[in-house]
Amino acid sequence: MNKNRDLDIARKAASEGVRVIKEFKKNGFEVRQKGFHDLITDADIAAEEAILSVIRNSFPNDDILAEESASYGSLTENRTWIIDPIDGTTNFAHDFPVYCTSVALWVNKQPRVGVVVEVTRDEEFSALAGEGAWLNGRAISVSGTKNPRDGFVGTGFPYDDLSLVNSYLGLFKVLMKELQGIRRPGSAAFDLCCVACGRFDGFYEYSLHIWDLAAASLIIKEAGGVITDWNGGEGWPFGQRIIAGNEHLHRYLKKMIQEYIPEKDRENVA
């Protein structure tokens, strides 16, 4: 695994976030409703503060885009840290495994560093642009699965935007018949990392935000995978519609989405 100061700080910040989440898990926490079907806990807020404090101490001039404290905007050319303190808050609130801390650094609107830690399994996924992707320090790569019948794919069910439910379920029905299996773990960052290390062959979802994807998208790319929006384009960071996979399953999922989701619903949001 490569050494790099940005990556070191990202790992340190993520591990601080994880430490705080584990403390709240042990000692108890309050859950509130942030929006429709959208939960927030004390642990989200405290973990975000802990992560931001590591980053601000090391890089006081860098910009921050964080799920719980910063406004949702667009990226600039500046160095920008993109944070999701708990991706999978609903799982965490229900003591259901699979929730992650996600820390990314983007520079000039491109990902430079990504770290995702799945808290319940102590799995640290990381990547450095141009240098590779790792799981607990060991190099990872996407699967070689070619045939959809052998395909094991992750997906997600959006909490807030239910406008595509009918066509999304239509697609789901067909994929249930054609794929080997579909899973909905409940943390998009983890789902994408599962593609990166070859557990999943592909992934698709809509209504995702940049903090869910900022770190894991680099981890996928550095592991040899593909990530696009639903039309195969580059609008995914703010477009909310995602397909990821090894090149074969990505191509298959794109074809199926184009067949089963009407054109107007495939458009990026922003």
Residues labelled as active-site residues = 67, 84, 86-87, 89, 212
Helix or strand run (H / E) with residue 112: strand 110-118
Q: DSSP 3-state assignment of 98?
A: coil
The residue assigned the tokens 């593909």 is: 226
Measured distance CA(36)–CA(55) in Å, rounded: 31
Options 80, 89, 101, 145; binder of ligand IPD; rule CB under 6 A: 89
Q: Which of 6, 16, 68, 87 binds ligand IPD (CB under 6 A)?
A: 87
- Binding span for ligand IPD by CB under 6 A among 13-21, 50-58, 205-213, 253-261: 205-213
Q: What angle do CA 269, 170, 35 make, to 5 degrees?
A: 45
The C-alpha torsion from 242 through 247 and 248 to 249, rounded to 10°, is -20
186 binds ligand IPD (CB under 6 A): yes
The strand pair at 38-41 and 63-66 is best described as unpaired
Site string for ligand IPD, 20-49 (x = CB under 6 A): ------------------------------
Residue with Cβ nearer ligand IPD (15 or 187):
187
Q: Which of 187, 217, 228, 246 binds ligand IPD (CB under 6 A)?
A: 187
CA dihedral 89, 120, 202, 7 (to 10 degrees): 90
- The contact mask relative to ligand IPD for 138-177 (x = CB under 6 A, - = no) is ------------------x-xx------------------
Residues that bind ligand IPD (CB under 6 A): 84, 87-90, 156, 158-159, 186-188, 205, 207-208, 212
